[in-house]
């Protein structure tokens, strides 16, 4: 027997919130998403995102837009220091931008029309109701006799509330829901930042464009690395000549600069350090980037996902935020959602879903730390974290 919840409030309207929103709506639940950001449609600053098999499966089952959501990168190319020499691997990745994935999910959830999806699909027979309320910051959560009472503050400062049978905290790294249920969490700044940017492929030379064509290029430098791949702009166009070459470079840094506010001097200083170290195609890409931005790399791991007798759940980055080296954030969110489907279909206990989610999260959280230490830190830190990973792996095999 299926027992999908009747009414659901999801806190956070980014990728995890929308994946759960679309999923529940398609199974007949009435869903309201509360998102603190007030923009009608959000920008991703043209930053790339990579997704895995669970997101692919999710889109196959629940996406009705018929929009090609990604560029399937067929190979990963490795470039070492200044060598143009590279090696092709057989690692395949699905590459897109946060903006495109967001627009596709919004079209399916509440029929939002955008430059990517100009004709959103009609609801399916049996779909529940779907509301996406922007500019609503959730501030309180109370269990009452008639369900959960979710309090939020609107853009105009007015306090409002709504009730639901189930509340899903999909509100990211700094989750309010996680604080409200006093979930145990370890949260840490990694000590490094990501510089990010993108350049349209027609704005670079033919040689540079073809070097980055249809593949992920991983440039390994001393205690720094760069990842480049092709992504669609927010319009979702994958027509050659309209796509963007997106790059991310990770560096040790004791502080951070808010995205969009990088001053020219800082960028020039950074370029002066980087350019002598990188192969020529990367040099052209950096020099032609108009609006680079910086994001701080943090991680967080919660040791509980289910609260208030199963009426509150934490998912996505709210449950665990990984350092981005494996690019598994969206995969992790989609796994939560598909796993909960098994719970609501009566195929799995909620406790088992929680256990599996926490095991997976802990492995990726620690694995990402090992990878980060190997690429950006010294040997001592790498060996220490690798040892912790081995212990964790052995303990999970022994079931302890
Ligand atoms: C605008 C934006 C752009 C992004 N771009 C990229 C990218 O280009 N590449 C990449 O790898 N990752 C990107 N990410 C992060 C990526 O979405 C996540 O790492 C991953 O997909 C898991 O997402 P999440 O939904 O769990 O968390 P997040 O994406 O962090 O979303 C959490 C959401 O909850 C909202 N929220 C937080 N607190 C409250 C509250 N109290 N009340 C209501 N709402 C609240 C936030 O505004 C946010 O929209 C981006 C996130 C955002 C929000």
Residue 256 has pLDDT above 60, yes or no: no
Average pLDDT over residues 373-395: 79
CA of 103 to the centre of ligand 1 (A): 14
At 272 the pLDDT is: 87
Which fold does the domain 188-297 belong to in CATH? D-Amino Acid Oxidase; Chain A, domain 2 (3.30.9)
Residue 329 has pLDDT above 70, yes or no: yes
Q: What are the structure tokens assigned to 53, written together?
A: 């098999």
Average pLDDT over residues 275-294: 87
Percent share of the chain, pLDDT over 70 = 94
DSSP 196: E
Q: Which of 9, 10, 13, 15 to mutate to test the pocket of ligand 1 (most atoms within 8 A of CB)?
A: 15
Q: What are the structure tokens assigned to 324, written together?
A: 């981005």
CA of 1 to the centre of ligand 1 (A): 34
What is the distance in angstroms between the CA of the first residue and the CA of the last residue of the chain?
Answer: 32
Which range has the worst mean pLDDT, 49-63, 317-331, 382-396? 382-396
Residue 84 has pLDDT above 70, yes or no: no
CA of 316 to the centre of ligand 1 (A): 9
Give Cβ neighbours of residue 400 (< 8 Å, ≥ 6 apart): none
- Nearest-CA neighbor of 215 among 42, 66, 351, 50? 50
CB of 128 within 6 A of ligand 1: the answer is: no
Confidence class for position 89, pLDDT limits 50, 70, 90: low
CA of 171 to the centre of ligand 1 (A): 7
Minimal-distance CA residue to ligand 1 atom 35 = 12
Minimal-distance CA residue to ligand 1 atom 53 = 14
CA of 18 to the centre of ligand 1 (A): 10
Residue 140 has pLDDT above 90, yes or no: yes
At 142 the pLDDT is: 96
> How is 150-184 classified by DSSP, letter by letter?
EEEEETTS-EEEEEESEEEE---TT-HHHHHTT--
**pLDDT tens for each residue of 111-129:** 999 999 999 999 999 999 9
Minimal-distance CA residue to ligand 1 atom 10 = 49
CB of 49 within 6 A of ligand 1: the answer is: yes
Q: What are phi and psi of 137, to 5 degrees?
A: -100, 120
At 318 the pLDDT is: 98
CB of 328 within 6 A of ligand 1: the answer is: no
At 42 the pLDDT is: 85
From-to residues of CATH 3.50.50.60 in the chain: 7-46+58-66+97-187+299-376
**pLDDT tens for each residue of 181-208:** 999 999 999 888 889 999 999 999 999 9
At 371 the pLDDT is: 85
Confidence class for position 81, pLDDT limits 50, 70, 90: low
CB of 231 within 6 A of ligand 1: the answer is: no
CA of 60 to the centre of ligand 1 (A): 23
At 61 the pLDDT is: 97
- Nearest-CA neighbor of 18 among 37, 1, 46? 37
Residue 69 has pLDDT above 90, yes or no: no
Confidence class for position 73, pLDDT limits 50, 70, 90: low
Which fold does the domain 7-46+58-66+97-187+299-376 belong to in CATH? FAD/NAD(P)-binding domain (3.50.50)
CA of 83 to the centre of ligand 1 (A): 36
At 85 the pLDDT is: 58
Which range has the worst mean pLDDT, 89-103, 147-161, 245-259, 356-370? 245-259
- Nearest atom in ligand 1 to the alpha carbon of residue 324 is 11
CB of 44 within 6 A of ligand 1: the answer is: yes
At 1 the pLDDT is: 65
Q: What are the structure tokens assigned to 385, written together?
A: 């974290």
Task: Pick the most confident of 42-51, 165-174, 252-261.
Answer: 165-174
Between residues 175 and 387, the one the model is more confident about: 175
At 325 the pLDDT is: 86
Q: 3-class SS at 150?
A: strand
Considering only CA atoms, give the Rg of the chain: 21
């Amino acid at each position: 027997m299926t027992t999908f919840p009747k009414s659901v409030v999801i806190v956070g309207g980014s990728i995890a919130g929308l994946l759960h929103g679309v999923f529940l709506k398609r199974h007949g639940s009435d869903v309201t998403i509360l998102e603190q950001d007030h923009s009608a449609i959000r920008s991703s600053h043209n930053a790339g995102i990579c997704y895995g098999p669970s997101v692919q499966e999710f889109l196959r089952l629940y996406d009705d837009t018929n929009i090609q959501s990604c560029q399937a990168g067929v190979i990963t190319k490795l470039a070492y220091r200044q060598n143009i020499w590279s090696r092709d691997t057989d690692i395949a990745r699905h590459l897109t931008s946060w903006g495109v994935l967001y627009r596709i999910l919004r079209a399916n959830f509440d029929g939002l029309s955008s430059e990517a999806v100009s004709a959103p699909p009609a609801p399916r027979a049996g779909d529940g109701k779907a509301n996406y309320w922007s500019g609503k910051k959730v501030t309180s959560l109370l269990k009452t006799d008639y369900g959960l009472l979710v309090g939020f503050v609107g853009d105009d400062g007015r306090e409002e509330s709504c009730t639901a049978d189930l509340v899903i905290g999909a509100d990211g790294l700094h989750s309010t829901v996680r604080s409200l249920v006093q979930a145990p969490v370890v949260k840490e700044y990694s000590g490094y930042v990501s510089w990010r940017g993108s350049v349209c492929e027609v704005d670079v030379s033919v040689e540079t464009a073809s070097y980055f064509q249809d593949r992920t290029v991983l440039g390994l430098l001393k205690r720094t690395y760069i990842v480049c791949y092709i992504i669609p702009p927010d319009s979702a166009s994958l027509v050659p000549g309209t796509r963007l070459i997106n790059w991310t470079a990770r560096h040790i840094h004791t502080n951070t600069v808010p995205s969009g506010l990088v001053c020219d001097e800082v960028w020039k200083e950074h370029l002066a350090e980087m350019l002598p170290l990188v192969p020529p195609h990367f040099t052209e890409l950096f020099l032609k980037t108009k609006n680079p931005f910086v994001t701080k790399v943090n991680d967080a791991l919660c040791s509980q996902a289910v609260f208030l007798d199963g009426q509150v759940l934490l998912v996505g980055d709210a449950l665990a935020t990984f350092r981005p080296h494996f690019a598994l954030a969206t995969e992790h969110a989609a796994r939560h959602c598909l796993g909960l489907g098994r719970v609501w279909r009566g195929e799995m206990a909620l406790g088992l879903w929680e256990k599996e989610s926490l095991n997976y999260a802990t492995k990726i959280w620690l694995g990402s730390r090992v990878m980060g230490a190997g690429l950006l830190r010294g040997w001592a830190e790498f060996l220490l974290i690798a040892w912790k990973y081995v212990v964790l792996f052995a303990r999970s095999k022994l079931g302890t």
